Amino acid sequence: MAAAEPTKICTYSLPDLKNTTDDAIATYLNSKSFRQSHTLADVRLALSTTACVVAGVTFYLDYTRGFEPTKSFTFYACIGYFALNVILTGWLYLVEGSTVYIGAHRTAGVELAVESSVARHDPTYRLKIIQKQTLELGKKVVRLREVESPFATWFDEQGYFVRKPFETWLGNAVPWILENEEPPKELTEDVVTASGRTVQSEMAGTEVGSGKAARRKTGKKA
């Protein structure tokens, strides 16, 4: 079977650059023993599909039976359709937000969430990576990283996505996703993110550990 032709992206279109890079995150992590969770997309699909069904049934009844016999149903259907769209909007902005990947390691018992963002008129790709793990006695530890890099790092001048430099950059951002590496066990309490906030302020109510493993992993290359 012939390999798919690479897609050429306009290097001046930040949404296209971001969307292509977002898709590459799932492809890479799923190849590194992670199992992706599609819960966010499934809920979004269920809400939008239900809204479409409500609209379709309302149209069908109005078309076949007329307005007068179905006006009561139409009234409640409009309320339901409006409510579903409000819930969907809230889900997109308050729950799903900028999350592009949620998954769990197949064997290590570590959860991973990745959020991406791009500032207007700034061709820099930013990731917020949150790793969660529950240790013995129910102790939960979190590793939080914020990394960024220009899109030019993995897009060539013609607009083609180059997989290797992107995977190297992502692998260095989260070293333990590479094969044959153990996940970090604990973190220091004073870990500071790129935003200048500590882990405690970013993840309120989450306990962090001593940081020995986190320091041991620092500097490992992809």
In a domain, 101, yes or no: no
CB contact at 8 A, 141 and 187: yes
Is 145 in the same domain as 198? yes
Residue 175 binned pLDDT confidence (cut-offs 50, 70, 90): low
pLDDT band at 180 (very low <50, low <70, confident <90, very high): very low
Label residue 5 by pLDDT band (50, 70, 90): low
| pLDDT beyond 60 at 222 | no
The answer to whether residue 6 is domain-embedded is: no
55-62 average pLDDT score? 92
**Residue 115 falls within a domain, yes or no?**
yes
Q: What string of H, E and C letters represents the secondary structure of the chain?
A: CCCCCCCECCCCCHHHHHHHHHHHHHHHHHCCCEEECCHHHHHHHHHHHHHHHHHHHHHHHHHHHCHHHHHHHHHHHHHHHHHHHHHHHHHHHHHHCCEEEEEEECCCCEEEEEEEECCCCCCEEEEEEEEEEECHHHCEEEEEEEEEEEHHHCECCCCEECHHHHHHHHHHHCHHHCCCCCCCCCCCCCCECCCCCEHHHHCCCCCCCCCHHHHHHCCCCC
**Per-residue pLDDT averaged across 115-135, rounded?**
88
Task: Decide if 117 contacts 43 (C-beta within 8 A).
Answer: no
Over residues 127-157, the pLDDT tens digits come to: 998 888 777 667 777 778 888 999 999 999 8
Of 50, 69, 96, the one marking the end of a domain is: 96
1 part of a folded domain: no
Look at 58-62, 97-101, 114-118, 172-176 and tell me which has the smallest mean pLDDT: 172-176
pTM over 0.75: no
Contact 171, 21 (CB under 8 A): no
Q: What is the number of structural domains in the chain? A: 2
Query: What range does the domain containing 146 cover?
Result: 14-33+106-217
Mark whether 78 and 132 lie in a shared domain. no
In the chain, the percentage of residues whose pLDDT exceeds 90 is 38
Residues 112, 188 within the same domain? yes
